[in-house]
């Protein structure tokens, strides 16, 4: 542990050893420092959490926000104006790191003008030792650095920084701990992400996640149910169950249960209207899960099923542990059991050794499955992963050409898939006032498509029957059907 602060023996004895009590103790402590800081500044101090990367990070940021608001900080949406800026970083692709360094330089200049300003960095990038070395050397103005495994200690680390006035750096290599019942703030009143597991054991050869998020750990089903029950009492209608590989949920529990069984239990929660989940690994998707999806009233008709490549040869080098034929057969089984399902995917182009023939296999899968949408990525060589050391890295111009061809195929198919609902009436959850036109509301169908329709802010968080009048490629314009 950091030795920036030395407490008296008496103070030490008053600090709870158990979690989450320990963190609530430090929230109170940080609160007292925070009040002094506001007094010195002569104004209430503000914070801004900037999230990079996936929904897992978005959920972590809500936890950071919950703690900061308890301490007394007010949220400031504009980063440049905030007194405490926290970057929750992602490191899945190399350029994500470069973006963070660029923005940090800018923040450093702002900090010079604001003596009350603090900067914290956390998230996946901090689990890479080279990154922390670079930050220590070239970005000395950073106040607090912590990683993914000890994010639950945010209040404690922040209190340390406030007390010592010195940079606090605390990164753990791994953990088997899950701390429940910490404060958390939701970005939306009516929907929420819910972590069901952390980490990943799959070691796909291109992916840094298992190294920065550690081994797979599942939350106890009772803790998940309790959290969702609380959320629904608080007005949440939709939950997104989060994990790197939700299909292997529960395997490491003392009393193992399957993901399908967890879904059955969540389905029974009164007041909950919609259940989503991500991400599913094709190799672990069971027939039991397909059956539960087919029978469920609440599980959304949407499945994100990353294929990564259509070539069995490349899939093997990626360590994905399924074949092209196995994936296609799985997609067919799902479509048969849940005919109205939307399938979406992730695809990587330009993995080491990928030939034009391999790429054609990927296009073949895209044409056969007909994804409702697909996230397409250019392969990024992540230091520390097995694929980074593979021979035959593909030249940039070849990858770009393949990427453009894939994108155009994906977009044509997704426009066609989207248009199949034209003229139908669907249940839509109103999510926000439209960014460009405040006479419109933006809502989401169960299958994840967006629809804009006339309405006002008071409708947010409620469900409406909406007539889908016009398809605009990847979203709809619609109108509420009056009863
Ligand atoms: N390069 C490109 N894309 C990657 N992904 C993960 N690692 C890499 C990498 N090194 C993509 C995968 C994954 C998604 C979240 O990010 O497609 O499913
Ligand atoms: Fe990365 Fe593969 Fe784990 Fe997904 S399943 S997080 S791609 S290693």
pLDDT in tens, 303-339: 999 999 999 999 999 999 999 999 999 999 999 999 9
Residue nearest (by alpha carbon) to ligand 2 atom 2: 204
Q: Is the CB of 349 under 6 A from ligand 1?
A: no
Mean pLDDT, range 119-140, rounded to an integer: 96
Q: How far apart are CA 314 and CA 308, in angstroms?
A: 9
Question: 258 C-alpha to center of ligand 1: Å?
Answer: 26
pLDDT of residue 11: 77
Predicted confidence (pLDDT) per residue in 408-417, tens digit: 999 999 999 9
106 CB-contact burial (10 Å; exposed 0-12 / middle 13-18 / buried 19+) = exposed
- Please, what is the end-to-end C-alpha distance for the chain in angstroms? 62
Region for 417 from its dihedrals, namely left if φ exceeds 0, alpha if ψ lies in -120 to 50, beta otherwise: alpha
Name residue, tokens 């990927």: 362
Ligand 2 atom nearest to 92, measured from its CA: 1
pTM of this structure: 0.93
* Contact between 27 and 70 (Cβ < 8 Å): yes
Measured in angstroms, how far is the CA atom of residue 454 from the centroid of ligand 2? 40
In this structure, the residue with its CA closest to atom 4 of ligand 2 is 244
Ligand 1 pocket, mutate which of 203, 282, 346 (most atoms under 8 A from CB): 346
Ligand 1 and 390: CB distance under 6 A: no
Rounded distance from Cα 208 to ligand 1 centre (Å): 9
Task: Say if ligand 1 is within 6 A of residue 250 CB.
Answer: no
Mutate to test the pocket of ligand 1, among 91, 93, 282, 396 (most ligand atoms within 8 A of CB): 93
pLDDT per position as a tens digit, 272-296: 999 999 999 999 999 999 999 999 9
Residue 383 to residue 127: CA distance in whole angstroms: 13
The atom of ligand 1 lying closest to the CA of 92 is 7
Residues with CB under 6 A from ligand 2: 200, 202-204, 207, 209-210, 244-245, 281
Report the separation in Å between the CA atom of 418 and the middle of ligand 1, taken as the mean of its atom positions.
25
> 380 CB less than 6 Å from ligand 1?
yes
Query: Can you give the pLDDT at residue 482?
Result: 84
Q: What CA–CA distance (Å, rounded) separates 140 from 126? A: 15
Atom of ligand 2 nearest to the CA of 244: 6
Query: Atom 13 (ligand 1): residue with closest C-alpha?
Result: 346
pLDDT bucket at 387, cuts 50 / 70 / 90: very high
The position carrying tokens 């914290």 is 120
What value does the mean pLDDT of the chain take?
95
Tokens of residue 242, six digits = 């989060």
Residue 207 near ligand 1, beta carbon < 6 Å: yes
CA 329 – ligand 1 centroid, Å? 23
Q: What are phi and psi of 427, to 5 degrees?
A: -80, 130
**CA 396–ligand 1 middle distance (angstroms):** 17
How does 239-257 read in b/e, with b if 16+ C-beta sit within 10 Å? bbbbbbbbbbbbbeeeeeb
Q: What's the average model confidence in pLDDT over 72-97? A: 95
Ligand 1 centroid distance, CA of 368 (Å): 22
Longest dimension (CA), the chain: 72
Ramachandran area for residue 342 (φ above 0: left; ψ -120 to 50: alpha; else beta) = beta
Give CA–CA dist 414/407, Å, rounded.
10
Residues 3-42: pLDDT tens digits?
445 567 777 788 999 999 999 999 999 999 999 999 999 9
Q: Which atom of ligand 1 is nearest to the CA of 54?
A: 15
Ligand 2, atom 1, residue with closest C-alpha? 207
- Nearest CA among 397, 294, 390, 286 for reference residue 336: 294
Q: Which ligand is nearest to the CA of 202?
A: 2
- Among the bound ligands, the one closest to the CA of 280: 2
Task: Put the strands of the sheet holding 274-278 in their side by side order.
Answer: 191-195, 238-242, 274-278
Q: How far is the CA of 90 from the centre of ligand 1 (A)?
A: 12
Residue range 151-165, pLDDT digits in tens: 999 999 999 999 999
User: How far, in Å, is the centroid of ligand 1 from the Cα of 446?
Assistant: 26
Q: For residue 380, report the distance from its CA to the centre of ligand 2, in Å.
A: 14
φ, ψ at 446 (rounded to 5°): -55, -35
* Cα 344–Cα 347–Cα 352 angle in degrees, nearest 5: 165
CA-CA distance, 313 to 309, in Å (whole number)?
9
| Rounded Cα gap, residues 457 and 430, in angstroms | 9
HEC letters along the chain? CCCCCCCCHHHHHHCCCCCCHHHHHHHHHHHHHHHHHHHHHCCCCEEEEEECCCHHHHHHHHHHHHHHHHHCCEECCCHHHCCEEEEEECCCCHHHHHHHHHHHHHHHHHHHHCCCCEEEEEEHHHHCHHHHHHHHHHCCCCCEEECCCCHHHHHHHHHHHHHHCCCEEECCCCCCCCCCCCCCCCCCCCEEEEECEECCCCCCCCCCHHHHHCCCEECCHHHHHHHHHHHHHCCCCEEEEECCCHHHCCCCCCCCCCHHHHHHHHHCCCCCCEEEEECCCHHHCCHHHHHHHHHCCCECCEEECCCECCCHHHHHHCCCCCCHHHHHHHHHHHHHHCCCCEEEEEEEECCCCCCHHHHHHHHHHHHHHCCCEEEEEECCCCCCCHHHHCCCCCCHHHHHHHHHHHHHHHHHHHHHHHHCCCCCEEEEEEEEECCCCCCEEEEEECCCCEEEEECCHHHCCCEEEEEEEEECCCEEEEEECCC
């Amino acid at each position: 542990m950091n030795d920036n602060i030395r407490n008296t023996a008496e103070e030490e004895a008053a600090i709870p050893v158990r979690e989450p009590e320990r963190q609530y103790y430090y929230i109170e402590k940080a609160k007292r420092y925070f009040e002094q800081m506001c007094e010195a500044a002569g104004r209430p101090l503000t914070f801004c959490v900037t999230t990079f990367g996936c929904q897992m990070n978005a959920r972590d940021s809500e936890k950071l926000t919950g703690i900061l608001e308890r301490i007394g900080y007010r949220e400031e949406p504009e980063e440049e104006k905030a007194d405490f800026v926290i970057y929750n970083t992602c490191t899945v692709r190399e350029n994500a790191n470069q973006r963070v360094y660029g923005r940090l330089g800018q923040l450093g200049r702002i900090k010079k003008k604001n003596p009350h300003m603090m900067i914290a960095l956390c998230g996946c990038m901090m689990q890479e030792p080279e990154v922390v070395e670079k930050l220590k050397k070239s970005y000395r103005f950073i106040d607090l650095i912590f990683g993914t495994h000890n994010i639950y200690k945010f209040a404690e680390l922040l209190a340390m920084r406030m007390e010592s006035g010195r940079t606090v750096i605390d990164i753990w290599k791994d953990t088997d701990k899950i701390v429940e019942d910490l404060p958390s703030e939701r970005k939306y009143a009516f929907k929420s992400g819910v972590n069901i597991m952390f980490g990943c054991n799959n070691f796909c050869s291109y992916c840094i996640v298992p190294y920065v998020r550690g081994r797979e750990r599942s939350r106890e089903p009772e803790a998940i149910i309790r959290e969702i029950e609380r959320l629904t009492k608080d007005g949440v209608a939709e939950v997104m169950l989060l994990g790197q590989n939700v299909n292997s949920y529960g395997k490491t529990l003392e009393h193992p249960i399957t993901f399908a069984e967890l879904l059955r239990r969540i389905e029974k929660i009164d007041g909950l209207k919609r259940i989503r989940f991500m991400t599913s690994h094709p190799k672990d998707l069971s027939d039991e899960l397909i059956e539960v999806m087919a029978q469920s009233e609440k599980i959304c008709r949407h499945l994100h099923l990353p294929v990564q490549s259509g070539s069995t040869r490349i899939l093997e080098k990626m360590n994905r542990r399924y074949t092209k034929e196995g994936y296609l057969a799985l997609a067919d089984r799902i479509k048969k059991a849940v005919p109205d399902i939307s399938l979406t995917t992730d695809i990587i182009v330009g993995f080491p050794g990928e030939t034009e023939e391999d790429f054609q296999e990927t296009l073949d899968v895209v044409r056969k499955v007909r994804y409702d949408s697909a996230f397409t990525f250019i392969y990024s060589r992540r230091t520390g992963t097995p694929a980074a050391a593979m021979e035959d890295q593909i030249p940039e111009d070849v990858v770009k050409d393949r990427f453009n061809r894939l994108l155009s195929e994906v977009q044509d198919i997704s426009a066609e898939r989207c248009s199949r609902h034209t003229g139908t009436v669907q249940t839509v959850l109103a999510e926000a006032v439209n960014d460009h036109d405040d006479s419109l509301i933006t809502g989401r169908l169960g299958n994840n498509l967006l629809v804009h329709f006339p309405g006002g802010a008071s409708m947010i968080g409620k469900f409406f029957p909406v007539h889908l009048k016009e398809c605009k490629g990847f979203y709809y314009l619609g109108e509420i059907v009056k009863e």
